[in-house]
Structure 1
Amino acid sequence: MNLQLKLQKVVLCCTLFACIPTFYLLDTSVSNKLLLLAAIVFACWQLSGYALKRFNLGMAGLETGLLNFLDGEYASLLSYDDNDELGHLSRLYNQTAEKLRAEKHWIYQRELMLDKVLQNSPEVLVLINDRNQVVFSNWAARHFFHINSTKLEGLLLSELLENAPQGVSNVIEAAQEGLFSISHDNDEQQTWHLATGQFLLNNQQHQLYILKQMTRELSRQEVAVWKKVIRIISHELNNSLGPISSMLNSGKLLTEQVQDNRLNRVFNTIEERIQHLVTFVQGYGKFAKLPSPKLSKIHFNELAAQLAEQWAFNYDKQQDIQFNADPIQLEQLLINLLKNAHESGSDKDEVNLTIRAFNNNIIIEVLDRGKGMSDSVLSQALIPFYSTKNSGSGLGLALCREIAEAHHGHIALQNRKDGGLCVRVSLPGV
């Protein structure tokens, strides 16, 4: 029963009570009195309905608007604007609707921005509900779990972990926060960090998993420590080599009149070792103070032709891939890798240089058929000062890694199935 009907009944009752004294005072027949009373009641009923019609429409609009509020819809406004209590309520309703609509638009824009940030975040983000179903994931998660064609939403956690890299399942199922290592198909070891969190969303318990790759970050910290050590050593050696070299020259001048072969051999040996130390310090100083890359267009066929003048290798000239890199640093990187390939015991005809574009990256590989590397050597080969050669400085591969990472790329070493080593350098293709 609506408000208009209730108010009409109240008006009708008041009219009846007001007409009762008139019913007894009129000097006419009972039938006439009843007809008159019916006419008065009908007129009052119609007049009250007409008078309350606009009020009732305003109340109906207010009710509809409040129902829209319950549904989260704030676009409807009330047109009732009379100067009464209902008009005051309607104006308050319209002000509230406009404010809620503005806040909803602001929240929507913020959600769009947050979704954009999360989808483009390099961290792997996966949200699981209390039924162990994925309710949110980003692009990094789809790439990490090797599901690029479809979304992860709706998959069970067990189904998701079927495609996970080796070493991930146990960590996620146990929800153990901290660092862990995973292995990919190409035997690359990577270090990752898992962070988890639980919270209520829509009155349901949810579990958030955040996986962040720490391999490059740990490598940067490691290299930064080595650079600091190298700078300190270089500084101390330079401080000593200068006076020693000066004293050596003075000694030679003082003994020019003395014809003593033994003394000449001593001076020559000292000079040779000083020159060796200078070269050593300059080499490590070059690693410790590698400048930022100066990018320019690289035509790889031209670079390969320059390298072929120094080292023999096989190269397919059909693909002349072009990309941006520092030509001097890239040439130094490839010289080091080709030199190592020739010193690996491989036949020079088995040394290969390849390049290809893959997933917006440029993949350069130097392959040989030498002895390869043991697992312990593979894990330390990119560390400065580490070398398996008697005369090696342990700088070549470390400098290669530094150059690759300065280009926002990375370098990986992998033993080949039939013997030999593959050194893979990945650089951004744009």
Structure 2
Amino acid sequence: MSRKGIRPPRGRRFSLVTRWSALVGTLLTLGIGAALGLTMLLPGQPWLVLAICLACVVPIAVITIRSEIRPILSLFRALEGTVASYRDGDFSFSLHWPHNDELADLVAAHNDLGSVLRDQRLDLVQRELLLETMVQNTPVAMLLVAGNASRSGPVVYANVAARQLLAKGRKLEGMQLGELLQSAAPALSDALARGGDGLFSVEGSEGGEDEVYHLARSSFTLNGRKHELLLLRHLTSELRRQEVQTWKKVIRVISHELNNSLAPLASLAHSGAELVRRGQPERLPQILETIGERTRHLESFILGYARFAKLPTPRLETCEWSEFVARLASQVRFSLVGALPADPAQFDPAQLEQALLNLLKNAHESGSRPEQVELQVRRAHDVVRIDVLDRGSGMSDAVLTNALVPFYSTKRSGTGLGLALAREIAEAHGGRITLANREGGGLAVTLVLPLVAVPA
């Protein structure tokens, strides 16, 4: 009864009701005809006629009905078998029914269901194969741990990079994470114990350079049980490339600034010496004033780099917003939007003041009118949002992407440290900084700080 890929024929349709009605009618006609014939042959003996009719018609009816029901019962058993095959993941079987009736429709629907399940299973297998190939060939070490990784649960899955990193290529599935960490670098155990994402360094072999890794972790529930996914990414070579590029850029910026300052200073010194030689000292004060101005500019430039490189850990104080904003307003012009939060906050007032001074200075230099430079401080859930708003020219997508990168600047005389320093200060307080163009023109720079700041 079970065949592969066979569809029932589509000829003349006879429903089950029609077939069974014809069968019952035929049996009744046969019984009535036999009774009438026997009554004529055996008049006056009705009980004998009834007995003979039953003896002849009942076996014929039983045999006929059994012959009709047997294929239906076989079909039901075949349906039961194919459903069991579907439950076991085998969708290769389909059914055949020779008649064109309601059972043929049931068989066709069953075969269509098997075809859909078969196609879905094939698509799923292809997707799983693609995903497995991608996961196994990624350079990021991936570990799936049942339970909590901090409590050293069993390893459920590990890719090739994880096996190479933790077990020299051996299989990790089924092993306890605690056993693996005993032979791994202590820095990895410490990073897992701290919780959350982060960077850690592993001492290089044979006194080589330390290797830097990034640990990312994500928890989810699988089959009703908590699992944790650990991702270990090797960052040493990438950080080294970025460090080289950063140093090159720093050297170019400093070299450019020094050349721009030292060349005029040398020229002015030569001019001063020439004036003294000629006995024309009346222009010396102007030359000396220009030399002093260029020297102060160069000093400010170098101090900016030094301040960025040596940002100290924030010294948190409980500060009232009204006093802080009033001190800020005495140094730079801005309009306050909305009311200040009534509750004080914890932050380093000197560092936050420096960050906001840089942002407000940038707002004034953006082309915005001074009265359109605005400051807004508001509390949102468990954070404080500080917005510096202007109506200048805003930023292009390329500038927005690189604006927070140290030493990146679109200004001719800019150092590229203002926004980078503000970001460093925000992150040191456990917060972040975001930039977005405003509708109608201008830029919105937002500092988001936790209510209880935790130094990074």
- TM-score when scaled to structure 1? 0.48
